[in-house]
Chain A
Amino acid sequence: MRPLTLKRLLWTCGLLAVVLLGCVVLALKLGAVPISVTDLMWDLGRVAVGGSDPLPSEYSMIVFDLRLPRILLGILVGASLSVAGASFQALLRNPLADPFVLGVSSGAALGSILAMIVVPQLALLTPLGAFLGAIATIAAVYFLGRREGQLDSSTLLLGGIISASFLSAIIMFLMTTLAGRDLRGMVFWLMGDLSTPVSAGLRWILTVGLFAGVGAIYTTAADLNLLLSGEREAIHLGVDVTRVKLVVYVSASLLTALAVSASGAIGYVGLLVPHAMRLLFGSDYRLLIPASALGGAIVIVLADTLARTIVAPTELPVGAMTAMAGAPVFIYLLRRGTR
C-alpha cells in the first residue's frame, strides 16, 4: 500500500466531497415532486447571493423546508454512524463491529424513548437519554465480549446481538403498555426513518456533536492504526491505550446516540461504509475517518433518495434500504473472516 501523504489525504477528501455535492444536487432534484435541475441551480445561486426574486411558495417550501433539511440531516446521520462504525472496528479489533450490530443503536433508542416518556416536555433531552443508553450498552457489550481477559470476536458479536434483542424487547414492552402515550410514530422511527423533520435545536446539537465527536476521534487516528496490530504492541510503541479507548468509546457512543435520536436505528451504514473506504483508499485511520464521514453521508443521501422515490408518494424507511444492502455485506465479511 502506498504511504499516506497530506496531498493524497486532501485529494481523496476533495474527491469525496465533490461526489457528495453531486449526490446532494441529485437528491434535491428527485422526489415525489420532480424539479428541473437547471431551475434548481439557478434558484440556489440566487438564494446564495441573496437575490430578491420571490420563489413560488410551494416550490420553495418543498425544496428549502422539506428536502434540503432532510438531506442535511441525512449527511449528519450518515457521517456520524460511519465514523462510529469505523471507530468501533478499530477499538474492538473486529471488522464486523457496527453500532447497530453491537446493540449500541438499540441502547440509544431505548434511552431516547425513556427520555420521551419521563420528560416529554423537553424534547432536547432525548439526545442525552440516547447518549446514556449508548454508553451503558457499549460498556455491557464490551464486558460480555471479554473472555479470559481478551476480547473474543464471536463472543463480542453474540453479546451485541443478544443485547440488541433484549433492548428491543424492553422497547416493545414500553410501547405496548404505554399505548395511550402516543408512541405510535415510534414504530417508524425504530426502523430508521428520515421523513420526520427534526427541530432546529436538535439540528444544532447534531452538528456540534458531529464535529466534536469526529474531531476527538481524529486526534487518536494515529494511535488507532497502532492499536489495530494489537493492544500489547500498541502499549510497547508508546500508545496510552486507556486514554485512547476512553476517548474513542465516549465519542463513538456520542455519535451513535446523536444519529439515533434524530433518525432512529439506521443499520449497517457503520459497517458498509468503512469497509468500502478501506477497499478504495487503504486502512490508515488518518484517511479512513474523514473518508468514512463523507462516504457515510453519500450513502445515506443516496439511500434516502431511493427510499423517497421508488414507491412515491409512499415512503420506505431508509433503515430498510440500508439493511437490504448491508446485511449481505455483513454475511460476506463473516464468511471471509471464518475461512
Chain B
Amino acid sequence: MKFNQAMPGAHAGSGKKFRKLRVVVLRAGMSLLFWFLCGAPVMPQTPVAPSTAGLATTAPAFQVFTDEVGRRVEIPAEVKHVVSLAPNLTEIVFDLGDADRLAGDTDFCDYPDEASKKPHVGGPINPNLEQIVSLKPSLILATKSINRRETVDALAHIGLPVYVTDPHSVDAMIASVEHLGAVLHAEKAAAPLAGELRARLADLDRRLAGTTPSRVLFVVWSAPLISIGRDTFIADALRHARAQSVVDTAAEWPHVNLEEIVRLQPEFLVFASAHAGDTQHEIEALRTRPGWRDLDAMRRGNIVVISEAINRPAPRMVDAIEQLARALHSDSFASRSPQLAAAANISLEDCSCAR
C-alpha cells in the first residue's frame, strides 16, 4: 500500500528546522487562538447592536407574554409579519382573519388553499432559519409537539420572538386560539371563534349524554401500526365524540403490536384521511392481512374514515369530532329537526363509513 511509505529519512534530515517550526507553530497557534476567542463572541454583537436599536425606534412598545410552555416572550405592540412553523398554527392564523399578516409558513401548510401559496420556510422539523429571518417576522409561531426545541432556541437566541403553543386536549386547542388572538392583537376575531367551538362541543355533549363510549382503534399509520397515547389531543378529541381508544399508554405516538389489538378487539377502526379513496384502497389491502383480518371490527366493516383535520390541533378539528360522533352514535342524531337530520345524513355519506 502506498500509504505505508513513510519517510524516516526526511525526518532525520530536517529535524532541527522542525523543532524550531514547532515553537513557531505553537506561538502562532496561541495568538490565533487568542484572536479567535476574543473575536468570535464580538463578531455577532457588533452588527446586532444597531439592529435592535432600529427595532426599538420603529416599535417603541413591547408586550410581555408567557407562552404555553412557560417561556417569556417579548412581542412588539404591532405585529406586522407572522411566520408560522406548523400547519395547525397556519390554520388558526387564517381563521382569525390574519392571512395578510402571514408572511410565511411551512411546506406542510396546505389548508386553506391560500396557505400553500405563501412563501415556505421548509418543513416544520427542519425549517431554514435564514429563510425565516429574511421574511422579517415580528412574531414566529411554533407548536411543541410538531417543531423542534432547537429551532425555537436558535430563533430566540438571535432575538426573534417565538410564541410556542402546546395543546394536549381540545379545550387547550381552543385556549390556544384565544392566546394567539391575544398575541396577534386579534381578540375580536378569537373570542367569537372560541365561543362557537365551545358551544358546538357543549351541544355534542348534550346529544351524546347517556351513550356508552365506543371502544376504537385510532390508526395513525397502518404499517407499522402507530396509534395514539392517552395524553394526545387526538385521544381527547375521541373522548368528545364518545369514543375511547383501546390503546392506553403514556407514549404519544406508540408503535403498537397488532397481537395486542387482536386481544383487545376494538368495536371500530378509525382512520383519518384527506383522500377517502386512497384510504379505501388501504383498508381493502388490510382486510386480507393476517392480524387485521382477525379483527371483528374489520370483519363486520365497522370502519370509520374521518377528515384528516383530527390530526391538527386547529378549529377544523371540531368538524372531525362531529363527523366521528355522527358515525359512531348515529341514533343520537336521528331525532332532530329535518334540516339537521339532512345535514347528518350528508355527513354520514361524507365520512364514508365502510359498508
Residue ranges of A at the interface with B (Cβ–Cβ < 8 Å): 1, 3-6, 9, 31-33, 47, 50, 54-55, 57-58, 60-69, 72, 89, 93, 95, 176, 179-180, 182, 184-185, 188, 195-197, 200, 203-204, 207-208, 211, 215, 218-219, 222, 224-229, 237, 278, 282-286, 308, 312-315, 337
Give B143 Cβ to nearest chain A Cβ, in Å.
12
In the bound assembly, the distance between CA atoms of A60 and B26 in angstroms comes to: 34
Report B-chain residues with C-beta under 8 Å of the C-beta of A66. 129-130, 133, 158
Asked if B54 is an interface residue, CB under 8 A from chain A, the answer is yes
Contact yes or no, A222 B43, CB < 8 A: no
Contact yes or no, B122 A225, CB < 8 A: no
Contact yes or no, A93 B158, CB < 8 A: no
Closest A residue to B159 by beta carbon equals A61
Closest B residue to A67 by beta carbon equals B130
Contact yes or no, B48 A313, CB < 8 A: no
Give B124 Cβ to nearest chain A Cβ, in Å.
11
Report B-chain residues with C-beta under 8 Å of the C-beta of A308. 128
Contact yes or no, B48 A61, CB < 8 A: yes
In the bound assembly, the distance between CA atoms of A66 and B133 in angstroms comes to: 9
Give B90 Cβ to nearest chain A Cβ, in Å.
16
Q: Which 7 A-B pairs give the minimum distances between C-beta atoms?
A: A54-B50, A57-B51, A60-B47, A228-B6, A313-B128, A313-B131, A3-B10
Give B20 Cβ to nearest chain A Cβ, in Å.
8
Give A70 Cβ to nearest chain B Cβ, in Å.
9
Give B249 Cβ to nearest chain A Cβ, in Å.
10
In the bound assembly, the distance between CA atoms of A315 and B151 in angstroms comes to: 13
Report A-chain residues with C-beta under 8 Å of the C-beta of B148. 184-185, 188
Asked if B252 is an interface residue, CB under 8 A from chain A, the answer is yes
Report A-chain residues with C-beta under 8 Å of the C-beta of B250. 180
Asked if B149 is an interface residue, CB under 8 A from chain A, the answer is yes
Contact yes or no, A314 B107, CB < 8 A: yes
Of the A-B pairs whose beta carbons lie under 8 Å apart in the complex, a sample of 29, sorted by A's number, is A1-B5, A1-B7, A3-B9, A4-B7, A6-B14, A6-B18, A32-B131, A32-B134, A54-B47, A54-B50, A55-B50, A60-B47, A61-B51, A64-B44, A64-B47, A65-B157, A66-B130, A66-B158, A89-B3, A180-B252, A188-B126, A188-B148, A196-B150, A196-B151, A207-B40, A284-B10, A313-B120, A313-B128, A314-B128
In the bound assembly, the distance between CA atoms of A313 and B122 in angstroms comes to: 5
Report A-chain residues with C-beta under 8 Å of the C-beta of B285. none
Contact yes or no, A315 B128, CB < 8 A: yes
Report A-chain residues with C-beta under 8 Å of the C-beta of B129. 66, 195, 197
Give B50 Cβ to nearest chain A Cβ, in Å.
3
Given A31-B130, A54-B50, A312-B128, 5 more pairs with CB closer than 8 A: A9-B21, A57-B50, A72-B40, A95-B1, A204-B37
Report B-chain residues with C-beta under 8 Å of the C-beta of A200. 40-41
Give B247 Cβ to nearest chain A Cβ, in Å.
14
Report A-chain residues with C-beta under 8 Å of the C-beta of B36. 207
Asked if B121 is an interface residue, CB under 8 A from chain A, the answer is yes
Report B-chain residues with C-beta under 8 Å of the C-beta of A93. 4
Residue ranges of B at the interface with A (Cβ–Cβ < 8 Å): 1-11, 13-15, 17-18, 21-22, 25-26, 29, 32-33, 36-37, 40-41, 43-44, 46-48, 50-55, 107, 120-123, 125-131, 133-134, 136, 148-151, 154, 157-159, 250-253, 255
In the bound assembly, the distance between CA atoms of A283 and B52 in angstroms comes to: 51
Known: A5-B14, A208-B33, A222-B11. Contact between A33 and B131, CB under 8 A?
yes
Contact yes or no, B8 A237, CB < 8 A: yes
Contact yes or no, B33 A207, CB < 8 A: yes
Report A-chain residues with C-beta under 8 Å of the C-beta of B121. 313
In the bound assembly, the distance between CA atoms of A3 and B6 in angstroms comes to: 11
Contact yes or no, B53 A65, CB < 8 A: no
Report A-chain residues with C-beta under 8 Å of the C-beta of B157. 65, 197
Q: Which of B10, B123, B130 contacts A4 (CB 8 A)?
A: B10
Contact yes or no, B123 A57, CB < 8 A: no
Report B-chain residues with C-beta under 8 Å of the C-beta of A185. 148-150
Closest A residue to B29 by beta carbon equals A211
In the bound assembly, the distance between CA atoms of A196 and B125 in angstroms comes to: 11
Give A177 Cβ to nearest chain B Cβ, in Å.
9
Give B82 Cβ to nearest chain A Cβ, in Å.
15
Report A-chain residues with C-beta under 8 Å of the C-beta of B158. 61, 65-66
Contact yes or no, A64 B43, CB < 8 A: yes
Known: A93-B4, A180-B252, A219-B22. Contact between A57 and B150, CB under 8 A?
no
Report B-chain residues with C-beta under 8 Å of the C-beta of A195. 126, 129
Give B308 Cβ to nearest chain A Cβ, in Å.
21
Contact yes or no, A229 B48, CB < 8 A: no
Contact yes or no, B44 A65, CB < 8 A: yes
Report A-chain residues with C-beta under 8 Å of the C-beta of B1. 95, 337
Contact yes or no, A314 B53, CB < 8 A: no
